[in-house]
Amino acid sequence: MATVPTGVLEAAVYVEDLDAAESFYGGVLGLEKLLRVDGRHVFFRCGTTVLLCFVAAATKVGPPANALPVPTHGAKGEGHVCFSVNGENLDELVAMLTSHGIEIEADFRWPNGARSVYVRDPDGNSVEFAEPKLWGYKT
């Protein structure tokens, strides 16, 4: 039997403004900042995963000869990330987001009863906060 992945270790969104990304993900959402390289990226811990915020143009430049051989990568346009939030905490989260002037783009329940709340980060990425039962996980 082949070994299968057991989870998502990291996910990436692409941004233009690292200060705005750090303010949103670190300041507003309270994620722990792990690492920042000005002009390239800022990384945050979220539970057992890591959110990578990359300046897309910087990730299309290959590594220097003496660096780790990480392949180039990057994207154009708005992306999406979904954070897991227990249902009983979603009202508090919505209140916190709106208190920071962040517009709620959508707030609804899926056919299975799971609630999702959508906002946009400063670079226009779709940021969702959803109950784990959206995908059949127990809280």
The 3-class SS string of the chain reads CCCCCCCCCEEEEEECCHHHHHHHHHHHCCCEEEEEECCCEEEEEECCEEEEEEEHHHHCCCCCCCCCCCCCCCCCCCCEEEEECCHHHHHHHHHHHHHCCCCCCEEEECCCCCEEEEEECCCCCEEEEECHHHHCCCC
Please tell me the CATH superfamily of domain 10-63+77-135, with its number.
Answer: 2,3-Dihydroxybiphenyl 1,2-Dioxygenase, domain 1 (3.10.180.10)
| In the chain, domain spans | 10-63+77-135
Residues 69-74 have a mean pLDDT of 83
Using the predicted structure, report yes or no on whether residue 72 has a pLDDT greater than 90.
no
Region 51-61 average pLDDT: 91
Bigger pLDDT: 6 vs 60 = 60
Q: Please state the pTM of the whole predicted model.
A: 0.92
Q: What percent of the chain stands above pLDDT 90?
A: 75
**Amino acid type, 74:** G
pLDDT tens, residue by residue, 28-52? 999 999 999 999 999 999 999 999 9
